[in-house]
Amino acid sequence: MTDSRVFKTIGVVGLGTMGAGIAEVFARNGFNVVGAEVSADAVARGRKYLENSTGRAVARGKLSEADQAALLGRITLTADMADLKDADLVVEAVVESMEIKKSIFSKLDEIVSPTAVLATNTSSLSVTEISTANSKPGRVIGIHFFNPAPVQNLVEIVRTVVTEPGVLADVSALVEQIGKSPVVAGDRAGFIANTLLFGYLNHAVAMFEGHYATREDID
């Protein structure tokens, strides 16, 4: 039995609302975070997301100003993906484009260490197909946070048929370490939450079409 990985530095690719939220979650729990974007303008937007989100937490009394400063101090933002070289885990959180995600996972091959874990935050695309862009698909896994990541506790961990058991175990433990509730799903469209949600929504539509109740009452 191999020893569990020790995650110290977390990389996040994509600093939109979702990626910035994921970066905040890890930094809030004491991890060093490197957030990467495609340009200086995108980095500035990501920094603004982080400042606004943590600022709201301070205003609500959920975070002190000192803790906010410490949290933001643990996050390094960059427009150069090469700065992810020391990351033990990289979470990709860019737009839902298979082409863009595969391009990122291919580039990460040349940047991170052979033992680094690579994760996608996709909510709808095949983790298996994304993993084929990397030379080590066994280290690729899905970590699907829900928006807003600092608030929502549920995290779907998506394993492919080739995800290494150690990667699954270590990522599950990490998600628990940051105070989230992990559920493990196989790699199928919608995973768990969205698969259940669409069935629920379809049933609501059928009730409306059958004149069972008004649209407003069903809502």
Question: Measuring CA to CA, which residue among 168, 169, 148, 147 is closest to residue 158?
Answer: 168
Compute the distance between CA of residue 78 and CA of residue 80 in angstroms, rounded to an integer.
5
Compute the distance between CA of residue 21 and CA of residue 97 in angstroms, rounded to an integer.
20
What residues form DSSP beta bridges with 165?
none
Exactly one of 29, 32, 164, 194 is catalytic; which is it? 194
Residue 101: strand, helix, or coil: helix
Residue 156: strand, helix, or coil: strand
99 given a catalytic annotation: no
144 given a catalytic annotation: yes
What residues form DSSP beta bridges with 117?
89
156 given a catalytic annotation: yes
Exactly one of 121, 123, 134, 172 is catalytic; which is it? 123
Return the structure tokens found at 85.
């070289």
Compute the distance between CA of residue 192 and CA of residue 187 in angstroms, rounded to an integer.
10
* Whole-Å CA distances, 183 to 62, 69, 162, 165, 192: 26, 32, 18, 15, 9
Exactly one of 24, 53, 144, 172 is catalytic; which is it? 144
Exactly one of 92, 134, 156, 172 is catalytic; which is it? 156
Compute the distance between CA of residue 33 and CA of residue 31 in angstroms, rounded to an integer.
6
Beta strand 154-159 with 140-145 is antiparallel
Residue at token pair 């394993």: 159
Residue at token pair 């829900």: 146
209 given a catalytic annotation: no
Residues annotated as catalytic (active site), given as ranges: 123, 144, 156, 194
